[in-house]
A and B are shown apart, each in its own frame.
Chain A
Amino acid sequence: MSVLEVTGLYKSFGEIQAVDGLSFKVNQGDIYGLLGVNGSGKSTTIRLLLNLIRPDAGQIVISGKPVNNHNLTLRKKMGALIERPDFYPYLTACKNLEIMLKYSRVRPERARILEVLKLVGLEKFKDKKVKIFSQGMKQRLGIAQAMIHDPELIILDEPANGLDPHGMVDIRNLLIRLNQDYGKTIILSSHILREIEKIANRMLIIHAGKAIAEGDVQELIQTYESSVRMQVSDVNKALKILKSGGFEHVTAKNDHEIICHVKEHEVPEINRILVKNQINIMAIVPEKNLEDYFISLT
């Protein structure tokens, strides 16, 4: 069952087409990744989902209802963290969350606030004013405010920003727990590819406001391309020969290895070409990861 359906979404800011005919669907229980480089239109798309900005054309439907000014109750089912989290710096963490609960039309209960602060690792700072928080702490608090009112759909824009590796792991585990134990549907955007790969089950790759690819993360990798790492005796000659042979997506990884982004069945052909041209191959190692896939597409 789809929680979110976006159809033919367009948004421009002056001459800049930020979102260009985007369509995608998020099902209940998904952890859905929005992948794109900086400026690709991820944050604009999220703002459109939340009705912070109005689309020039297109439709957004959440739980079967269109997103507009009149369906305010839809937003009660959603929680969001958009870009860098900003709070009322002169208020404490607890107070900020209390206010967000009130805005969400939920009775603010201290127990709930403390529970969420503990989940994001900020329970010791509950009565500290936000102005003294580091960027990482604000990020954690941002995630807390997105989930404080127990929404069904959680939208996170670059949730790992400002977090150290431990923090990233904590947040990742939290999101997985929210999804698997509590049935939350999560949309998260990132330009950190590892993040999406490790946590999302479905994804959309956006570039220049357009959808480049959409679907199951593993299926996308399997269906479109794989990559192999080859240890060769002459990297430059190998690249020249392969490119002249029609294999465009080959790159040098270092002075003795090349990466070939090719379909699986093309690997033997590459092997034959290199051997024929007297290039020694010391090792062939298959590498299928999203980072390579993403770089090749964009």
Chain B
Amino acid sequence: MMLTLIHIELEKLFSRGRSYISFFAMLVIVLVIQGGMMLDGDSLIDFVSENLQEVFILEGNLLNGYLITFISINGLWIHVPILVVIVTGDMISGEASAGTFRMVLSRPVSRSKLILAKFITAMIYVALLVIMLAVLSLGLGILFFGTGDIIVFFESINILPEEILMDRFLMAFVFGILSMWLVGALSFVFSAMAENSLSPIILTMAIIILFTVISSFEVGIFEKIRPYLFTTHMNHWQSFFDYELDWNKIGNSIVILIGHIFVFLTLTLIVFNKKDITS
């Protein structure tokens, strides 16, 4: 039955035009960034490396597909979660407001299995979205700009050689999928509580933005709170661009992200199982 439920959810999700908006938006974003780099990427490299160039002679293909991909994903910390949440935040509350739960739950369908099926479908959607980001940004980036080393400022100046970058990016994107799964799971909690599509989206994004802002203040009480915020750990995809991989730190973040996903999913199940279907 579980496979049937997942199949139904996938069918419903990909029969809707709005499900493709996120993919289209992703394509546009990547193309805009790549286009901008084509037009003015040299200025960016000069700007970034200006101070280094006072001391060093720099050679090599610095404006390459890998660097542009890194810049892209570094700058999309708000955009990708939005594209995730506009779909996942609607998956429960959308059916509630449309009234279709009346028909579905009057059938021999377990509420828990229904939510799990929706959750798995949402995670598949999110994974596809991130994979598309990876394929587009890396694929088009390498196609237009070629490959090369990247220079990353992450607790030190790291020049990562080309040979290891594809693996690093793949690991970072897999970690990114996990992070976006957490975003989707959080939106599920609000979606289970709400009877409209907008509230879960706004609430989820509000929490992410708030936590991200707190994470960026490295002073006083904020410094103490930071390790406990899931947004802090979501940002640890950047750890894959450290010179030496700190597997303890990465592993710790993975465990925390998975833990959060589990907690959010459990909350969703509890809320939905207790809920009266009055719409």
Direct contact between A and B judged by beta carbons closer than 8 A: yes
Could you tell me which A residues sit within 8 Å of B by CB distance? 13, 47, 50-54, 69, 72-76, 78-80, 82-91, 95, 99-100, 102-105, 145, 149
Q: Which of A47, A72, A91 contacts B109 (CB 8 A)?
A: A72
> Hey, which chain A residues are within 8 Å of B278, CB to CB?
13, 47, 52-53
Instruction: Tell me which of B11, B17, B110 has the highest count of chain A C-beta atoms within 10 A of its own C-beta.
Output: B11
Other 10 A-B pairs with CB < 8 A, given A52-B105, A149-B107: A47-B277, A50-B106, A52-B276, A52-B278, A75-B106, A76-B107, A80-B106, A89-B98, A99-B8, A145-B103
Tier of interface size on chain B: 20 to 34
Q: Quick check: is B111 within 8 A (CB to CB) of the other chain?
A: yes
Give a binary string over B92-110; 1 marks a CB under 8 Å from any A CB, 0 the rest. 0000001111111111111
28 A-B pairs with CB atoms under 8 Å apart are A47-B276, A47-B277, A51-B105, A52-B278, A53-B278, A54-B276, A69-B273, A72-B108, A75-B107, A76-B108, A78-B106, A79-B106, A80-B106, A82-B102, A83-B99, A83-B102, A84-B99, A86-B100, A90-B15, A90-B16, A90-B17, A91-B15, A100-B107, A102-B4, A103-B107, A103-B109, A104-B107, A104-B108
C-alpha spacing A73/B109, complex, angstroms: 9
Contact status of A52 and B8, CB under 8 A, knowing A75-B108, A86-B99, A103-B109? no
Q: Quick check: is B1 within 8 A (CB to CB) of the other chain?
A: yes
C-alpha spacing A83/B278, complex, angstroms: 11
Closest A residue to B102 by CB, please name it: A82
Q: Is the CB of A69 within 8 A of B106?
A: no
Q: Which of B1-35 contact A (CB under 8 A)?
A: 1, 4, 7-8, 11-12, 15-17
Q: Which of A73, A80, A91, A145 contacts B12 (CB 8 A)?
A: A91
> Hey, which chain A residues are within 8 Å of B98, CB to CB?
86, 88-89
> Hey, which chain B residues are within 8 Å of A51, CB to CB?
105
Contact status of A103 and B15, CB under 8 A, knowing A53-B278, A54-B276? no
> Hey, which chain A residues are within 8 Å of B11, CB to CB?
99
Q: Per DSSP, are chain A's interface residues mostly helix, strand or loop, or mixed?
A: loop
Question: Shortest Cβ distance from B34 into chain A, in angstroms?
Answer: 33
Instruction: Tell me which of B1, B108, B276 has the highest count of chain A C-beta atoms within 10 A of its own C-beta.
Output: B108
> Hey, which chain A residues are within 8 Å of B277, CB to CB?
47, 52-53
Give a binary string over B217-250; 1 marks a CB under 8 Å from any A CB, 0 the rest. 0000000000000000000000000000000000
Closest B residue to A105 by CB, please name it: B108
Q: Is the CB of A52 within 8 A of B108?
A: no
Question: Shortest Cβ distance from A121 into chain B, in angstroms?
Answer: 20
Q: Per DSSP, are chain B's interface residues mostly helix, strand or loop, or mixed?
A: helix
- 5 A-B pairs closest in CB distance: A86-B99, A53-B276, A52-B277, A72-B108, A103-B107
> Hey, which chain B residues are within 8 Å of A73, CB to CB?
108
Question: Shortest Cβ distance from B2 into chain A, in angstroms?
Answer: 12
Closest B residue to A84 by CB, please name it: B99
> Hey, which chain B residues are within 8 Å of A91, CB to CB?
12, 15
Closest B residue to A47 by CB, please name it: B277
Closest A residue to B18 by CB, please name it: A90
> Hey, which chain A residues are within 8 Å of B1, CB to CB?
105
C-alpha spacing A87/B273, complex, angstroms: 22
C-alpha spacing A105/B8, complex, angstroms: 12
Q: Which of B84-126 contact A (CB under 8 A)?
A: 98-111
Q: Which of A82, A88, A105 contacts B106 (CB 8 A)?
A: A82
> Hey, which chain A residues are within 8 Å of B12, CB to CB?
88, 91, 99
C-alpha spacing A90/B20, complex, angstroms: 14
Q: Is the CB of A103 within 8 A of B110?
A: no
> Hey, which chain A residues are within 8 Å of B108, CB to CB?
72-76, 103-105
> Hey, which chain B residues are within 8 Å of A86, CB to CB?
98-100, 102-103
> Hey, which chain B residues are within 8 Å of A100, CB to CB?
103, 107
> Hey, which chain B residues are within 8 Å of A103, CB to CB?
8, 104, 107-109
C-alpha spacing A99/B100, complex, angstroms: 12
> Hey, which chain A residues are within 8 Å of B105, CB to CB?
50-52
Closest B residue to A80 by CB, please name it: B106
Closest A residue to B112 by CB, please name it: A69
C-alpha spacing A73/B110, complex, angstroms: 10
Question: Shortest Cβ distance from A213 into chain B, in angstroms?
Answer: 27
C-alpha spacing A84/B99, complex, angstroms: 9
C-alpha spacing A89/B278, complex, angstroms: 20
> Hey, which chain B residues are within 8 Å of A85, CB to CB?
103
Instruction: Tell me which of B1, B12, B102, B105 has the highest count of chain A C-beta atoms within 10 A of its own C-beta.
Output: B102
Question: Shortest Cβ distance from B209 into chain A, in angstroms?
Answer: 31
Closest B residue to A77 by CB, please name it: B108
Q: Is the CB of B102 within 8 A of A52?
A: yes
C-alpha spacing A145/B111, complex, angstroms: 20
Question: Shortest Cβ distance from B210 into chain A, in angstroms?
Answer: 32
C-alpha spacing A149/B107, complex, angstroms: 10
